[in-house]
């Protein structure tokens, strides 16, 4: 199950705190994505990146930020502006935007 | 609006029975549709895509543009098919819209 990894598996956030979720891939994929998964709602796109140093907002980008300084890495920061951060976060990558997405194992974020 | 609807949250069938997981989409352009599956304790993975027109693990799905549907079918369900299934629509570019998912439970 290599290829795309996410850490940590569980993350706890205190009120007013920013936290960063890690996503790394060694598949040499150009495109990377962050999704949020809530019960009964499927996956919703937060941010995506087509190439290094470029990223675009998805449907629910408010309260989140990302960076893409390296091809292999696409970290997601959940800021204090995100009022309802408790969710399961999935990272994915694809060779290009037209190809199949490969998913990481996910990070579950909980608010203390 | 672009949307993917999976009307059943849970589908329970007996082993050996046919199974159909429903998916309807709303999109004015030329759609590209997928089924993803998540087995217990495994990560989400692609099951099949409509442009491939292939059968994976006995599952098939046909795109019906008239009914805007992409239902997933298997003639004889197996216990190992129990999983969460997501229908997804790629609308062009990098955006993929996922349905809410259907949990399939195959009973022995």
Longest dimension (CA), chain A: 39
Rounded CA gap, B14 and A17, in Å? 48
Distance between CA atoms of residues B45 and A68, nearest Å: 24
Q: Is the pLDDT of residue A1 over 60?
A: no
Look up residue B84 and give its two tokens.
């969460």
Q: What pLDDT band is residue A50 in, cutting at 50, 70 and 90?
A: very high
When scoring B32, B44, B91, B99 by the number of chain A Cβ atoms within 10 A, the one with the most, hence best to mutate, is B44
How many angstroms separate the CA atoms of A27 and B61, rounded? 28
Cβ pair B43:A104 closer than 8 A = yes
For the segment B66-89, the average pLDDT, to the nearest whole number, is 96
**pLDDT range class, residue A96, cuts 50, 70, 90:** confident
CA distance B60 to chain A (A): 18
Question: Nearest C-alpha of chain B: how many angstroms from A85?
Answer: 19
State how beta strands A87-94 and A31-37 pair.
Answer: antiparallel
- Percent above pLDDT 70 for chain A: 98
Does pLDDT of B12 surpass 60? yes
Beta bridge partners of B26: B3
Under an 8 A CB cutoff, do A44 and B45 touch? Answer: no
- Nearest CA to A87 out of A13, A2, A4 is that of A13
Integer CA distances (angstroms), B88 to B25, B75, B82, B106, in order = 9, 22, 19, 22
- Confidence tier at B82 by pLDDT (50, 70, 90): very high
Most confident of A51-65, A92-106, B46-60: A51-65
Cα(A49)–Cα(A100) distance, integer angstroms: 15
Residue A2: predicted pLDDT: 60
Q: Report the residue of chain B nearest A100, measured CA to CA.
A: B46
Number of residues written out for chain A: 112
Strand partners, A91: A34
Residues A107, A88: contact at Cβ < 8 Å?
A: yes
Pairing of strands B10-14, B102-107: parallel
């Amino acid at each position: 199950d290599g290829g795309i990894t996410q850490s940590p598996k569980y993350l706890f956030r205190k009120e007013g705190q920013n936290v960063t979720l890690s996503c790394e891939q060694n598949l040499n994929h150009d495109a990377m994505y962050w999704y949020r998964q809530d019960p009964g709602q499927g996956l919703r796109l937060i941010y995506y990146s087509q190439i290094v140093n470029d990223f675009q907002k998805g449907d629910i980008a408010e309260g989140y930020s990302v960076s893409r300084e390296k091809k292999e890495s696409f970290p997601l920061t959940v800021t204090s502006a995100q009022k309802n951060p408790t969710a399961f976060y999935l990272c994915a990558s694809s060779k290009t935007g037209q190809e199949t997405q490969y998913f990481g194992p996910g990070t579950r974020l909980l608010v203390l | 609006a672009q949307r993917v609807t999976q009307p059943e949250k849970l589908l329970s069938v007996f082993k050996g029975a046919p199974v159909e997981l429903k998916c309807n989409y709303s999109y004015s352009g030329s759609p590209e549709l997928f089924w993803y599956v998540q087995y217990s304790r495994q990560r989400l993975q692609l099951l099949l895509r409509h442009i491939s027109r292939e059968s994976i693990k006995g599952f098939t799905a046909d795109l019906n543009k008239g009914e805007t549907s992409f239902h997933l079918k298997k003639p004889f369900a197996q216990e190992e098919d129990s999983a969460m299934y997501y229908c997804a629509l790629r609308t062009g570019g990098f955006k993929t819209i996922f349905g809410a998912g259907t949990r399939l439970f195959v009973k022995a």
